[in-house]
Amino acid sequence: MSSAAIIGTGSCLPERVLTNHDLEKMVDTSDEWIRTRTGIRERRLADPGTAASDLAVPAATRALAAAGIPATELDLIIVATVTPDTLFPATACLVQERLGARGAAAFDLSAGCSGFVYALGVAGQFLATGVYRTALVIGVEVLSKIINWQDRNTCVLFGDGAGAAVLQSVPAGRGILGLHLGADGSGGSLLTLPAGGSRLPASSTTVQEQLHTIHMSGAEVFKFAVRVMGEASLKALEKAGLKKEDVDFLIPHQANIRIIEAATKRLGLPPKKVYVNLDRYGNMSSASIPVALDEAYRAGLLLRDHKVVMVAFGAGLTWGAAVVNWELDPPKGA
């Protein structure tokens, strides 16, 4: 068996900023409540005409440029998202066409906010077994399109964005060292978009009842997240044959600063080893980790041979953690 390493990253954020003060004018909330309960100050919102693939393609193009790989070399494209352009065809196929990666296998993956870690794991398996050599993994969300802007419990939390990573097969012992994915479907109703699928097809009633927007039991998801973020990280470290003392950098899913702090504490890490951009972007679901990874890499925070842990939780309920040996030197000028 071989392994798979990240050889380039990229991201794309919409330009439009929505601050907590903007939200104060839309729902009964306050900047103080949002900052202290979540750590979020502002988030990015896509324009009405922008779909997931419009953010995914620039993120992917930047990742390919960073990797020095033409799109024609891609064997596989996985797009992790809960906000695809359409239910079908897969957004991955739209991305494949626009990148000019004709022939590459392409599919979407739905694992909520754990989507990027799941996709990394799936792509990693294809590369480790020698089926494919080069893969593109994207996490992208346009959550602003599925938010109920009258619901203060959810509308303050989320943002739009895309992050991408190019993976290539490497000898065993490098790249992805440990992976732990899991799910508990009994918690499915705690975080869901009820309508638009085969259970509740779109109708005027589903639209009137806001059933095409995010429904979440925040406090329940919070408790679950605090538990699984630490547990999943420790399991992935165990599979990698590493201890928490070996971790050089943590890239957690960016949902709530209190959840990140709990995971940080469980791993015994100092805050400087944990990447946080939640204050600027809010929760971008499956895009959170790849955007954070790209920013940390470009800021020169990730050094060659660093042991980097990525960990997430999300709708499903799902969780996932990956431990990677970072195989890149910081970019010039970082």
Catalytic positions are: 113, 253, 283
Q: Which of residues 149-208 bind ligand UT7 (CB under 6 A)?
A: 152-153, 156, 191
Q: Does 218 bind ligand UT7 (CB under 6 A)?
A: yes
> Could you write out the DSSP letters of every residue in 277-324?
-HHHH-B-GGGHHHHHHHHHHHTT---TT-EEEEEEEETTTEEEEEEE
Q: Which element (helix H / strand E) includes 11? A: strand 3-12
> Residue 140: which of 77, 192, 71 has the closest Cα?
77
Which listed residue (3, 283, 318, 325) binds ligand UT7 by CB under 6 A?
A: 283
Question: In terms of CB distance, is 87 or 219 closer to ligand UT7?
Answer: 219
Dist. CA 56–CA 110, nearest whole Å: 15
Those residues whose C-beta lies under 8 Å from the C-beta of residue 49, and which sit 6 or more positions away, are none
29-37, 50-58, 85-93, 166-174 -> range binding ligand UT7 (CB under 6 A): 29-37
Mapped onto helix, strand or coil, the DSSP state of residue 128 is: helix
Check residue 317 and give left, alpha or beta (phi > 0: left; psi -120 to 50: alpha): beta
Which listed residue (3, 38, 81, 169) binds ligand UT7 by CB under 6 A?
A: 38
Q: Does 314 bind ligand UT7 (CB under 6 A)?
A: yes
Q: Which of residues 237-266 bind ligand UT7 (CB under 6 A)?
A: 255-256
Residue 117 · residue 308 · CB < 8 Å: no
- The partner residues of 274 in beta bridges, in order of sequence, read 250
Which listed residue (37, 41, 145, 239) binds ligand UT7 by CB under 6 A?
A: 37
33-41, 140-148, 238-246, 272-280 -> range binding ligand UT7 (CB under 6 A): 33-41
Q: Does 293 bind ligand UT7 (CB under 6 A)?
A: no
Q: Does 219 bind ligand UT7 (CB under 6 A)?
A: yes
Q: Which element (helix H / strand E) includes 107? A: strand 105-109
- The footprint of ligand UT7 (CB under 6 A) covers 29, 33-34, 37-38, 113, 152-153, 156, 191, 216, 218-219, 221-222, 225, 255-256, 283, 314
